[in-house]
Structure 1
């Protein structure tokens, strides 16, 4: 198997960012759809995209796609796919499923039929009647949408937002993939100051440090496909060597985080240590109204409380006013704020230059972008 079709799943609204990351890795055959980015590449891409993609949720290997209006059709077309080219005889291969707007609406039945079809396909190839399933893990998914069945195998294992550094978090942690997306949607680069005045468990600051030093987000974790013979140890070794070669650990960074809650500051400091940035990032307890920085042309990125609970709303709205006053004292800075509060601009005291719809979990939010002047060229 030389060429594979991969699907990078994405949170709604981040598909274009994921596609840009895929292209930046050198893969050109890219198709963008709602919730996913599909592309064709050589097998080594399985390792590379798992290690490097910052804004994708997970990477799936596409085995086949076809219309299925009956269980018989689902069984026969699944059986005809080249499962034995991917699955070794001792593979562990559970099947999960979902169905949307399709005649085959019983997910449990679809899962059972796909499982049986894969077993029958492997029986033909391996000439055996029983599979122990005590080897490498291959999670198969059958996804039906408008009677089109897509069969994939998850290459990531744990979702890609699990970077391996955040063992500690607060009650509503910002997902690492969304944090990376928020940074990628700004004009920040490693030469400019970066500040998060609502740091929580430190995710934005840590993701910024990884971006600033070109450290692959998956460098510190394992993936389901590391044990797959179709990828092989050598390709994984080469991909990890590339990660190490491209990291710029010497890049100086000016990244600070602050929070009104001292417990959040302690969490952020602990996570920064776990990520290897303990001496590089600065966290301190501070209210947003006291925010100050001596640097110029910096970037503020924040995910403040939204005031979703009725009792919190007056306090949150006052905080938004304080934020606007504090950031207006930094005339050369740009600010990027994520919130679901529809009256944010009025409270902040300024109309955003641009807004973008993003989803923080199940919460529909706006990403308010206030552009400061560009730094002068050298």
Structure 2
């Protein structure tokens, strides 16, 4: 088996959760920075990380890292990398990336330099003046952060948030990887009951159920790394077999979802069925004004409407006030609410035990955490 260095980007605020997932997948030499986790491992670690991670956005092999403040430095740095170890004679290698707090700010310009330098590098390695690029596609991703350039090879394909169950969704769904991070923070376990009074397309409930039942998020999807010639096919098969062995068939989990929109209720049921967790999720149409918590202790985890999901901030805050009137006192229930509204606590009517800064895409939000007594 070979040893690789990987990088797994994630939502800002979920780095600690992801680092734990990577450790469980067998990753070593783990380094955590803002919005990403780097680690070392072999081909089997690559497969397990893709299949098992709930919060990683993708798993990329690092092809090289160096400082680049000019286009010349970028070009010359890429020319020195061992690219032919990863990219074949006929492979296509499209690239995209991003730049943050760096002197090279133009991503399109960087893309052109990356493409040209890679072509020179590979052309020399294979003795070709023109590379055919008529073979398999190897997606290249780069990042420039504080003038440090990182070139990577994607092993995930579609983003890891695409589990396969949410073929349809409501207007502004929470991304699956962020929902999974919140579920982890809430410490959802096999015997828990989770309630979402704004269930939308069911993402929070489904991620809770998959966590409780030990269902790996990538168990039933394909990864671009499965087509890489230097990663044996058997490591993917073995990783899936291992993931299946971890499923808890005796879990006593229950997810209860409510929404004022009948279409959202049906979406939740449909998506839960696709995810294979329909037997432990119930959903029904109910206004938050009519919400009553079950008589047993529950974990209420929710992403109430805001921003694109509401026309006015005033409407959202009116909703928060209604939430407070229906949920307070919490009793033995715990509550986890993600919202970008910094005034949530005062409108809701109760100060959170603590809150965590998270990012829903590029939108800064806070997860307000209320512990039951």
Shorter-chain TM-score bucket reads over 0.9
The offset of 1:291, in angstroms, is: 2.5
The offset of 1:273, in angstroms, is: 1.5
User: Partners of 1:108 and 1:369 in 2: how far apart?
Assistant: 41
Name the stretch that deviates more: 269-278 or 203-212.
269-278
User: Partners of 1:25 and 1:207 in 2: how far apart?
Assistant: 19
2:96 is matched with: 96
TM-score by length of 1: 0.91
Work out whether 1:302 is the aligned partner of 2:293: no
Work out whether 1:211 is the aligned partner of 2:207: no
> What is the correspondence of 1:34-53 to structure 2 with a 5 Å cutoff?
34-53=34-53
1:75 is matched with: 75
The offset of 1:105, in angstroms, is: 4.0
Q: 1:77 to 1:312 in 2, by over 3 A?
A: closer
1:261 is matched with: 261
> Contact 2:334 / 2:370 at 8 angstroms: preserved in 1?
yes
The offset of 1:60, in angstroms, is: 1.4
User: Partners of 2:241 and 2:72 in 1: how far apart?
Assistant: 46
Extract unaligned runs of 5+ from structure 2: none
2:241 is matched with: 241
TM-score by length of 2: 0.93
Work out whether 1:120 is the aligned partner of 2:100: no
> Contact 2:26 / 2:41 at 8 angstroms: preserved in 1?
no
2:286 is matched with: 286
The offset of 1:161, in angstroms, is: 0.9
Work out whether 1:276 is the aligned partner of 2:250: no
Alignment RMSD, CA only?
2.2
> Contact 1:110 / 1:142 at 8 angstroms: preserved in 2?
no
1:226 is matched with: 226
User: Partners of 1:179 and 1:52 in 2: how far apart?
Assistant: 15
Write the deviation string for residues 260-285 of structure 1: whole angstroms up to 9, x where unpaired: 11111011111111112223210001
2:108 is matched with: 108
> Contact 2:219 / 2:243 at 8 angstroms: preserved in 1?
yes
Name the stretch that deviates more: 98-107 or 196-205.
98-107
User: Partners of 1:309 and 1:202 in 2: how far apart?
Assistant: 15
SS in 2 for 1:158: coil
Work out whether 1:169 is the aligned partner of 2:169: yes
1:181 is matched with: 181
User: Partners of 2:322 and 2:23 in 1: how far apart?
Assistant: 41
Name the stretch that deviates more: 29-38 or 273-282.
273-282
> Contact 2:168 / 2:267 at 8 angstroms: preserved in 1?
yes
User: Partners of 2:268 and 2:367 in 1: how far apart?
Assistant: 23
SS in 2 for 1:44: helix
Write the deviation string for residues 321-342 of structure 1: whole angstroms up to 9, x where unpaired: 3322322365111111112223
> Contact 1:209 / 1:253 at 8 angstroms: preserved in 2?
yes
Q: 1:355 to 1:138 in 2, by over 3 A?
A: same
1:376 is matched with: none
> What is the correspondence of 1:307-318 to structure 2 with a 5 Å cutoff?
312-318=312-318
Q: 1:317 to 1:113 in 2, by over 3 A?
A: closer
2:341 is matched with: 341
Extract unaligned runs of 5+ from structure 1: 374-378
User: Partners of 2:310 and 2:48 in 1: how far apart?
Assistant: 45
User: Partners of 2:57 and 2:63 in 1: how far apart?
Assistant: 19
How many aligned positions are there?
A: 373
Q: 1:68 to 1:294 in 2, by over 3 A?
A: closer
The offset of 1:227, in angstroms, is: 0.2
2:368 is matched with: 368
User: Partners of 2:167 and 2:79 in 1: how far apart?
Assistant: 42
SS in 1 for 2:327: helix
Name the stretch that deviates more: 111-120 or 158-167.
111-120
> Contact 2:188 / 2:211 at 8 angstroms: preserved in 1?
no
Q: 1:107 to 1:311 in 2, by over 3 A?
A: closer
User: Partners of 1:360 and 1:326 in 2: how far apart?
Assistant: 26
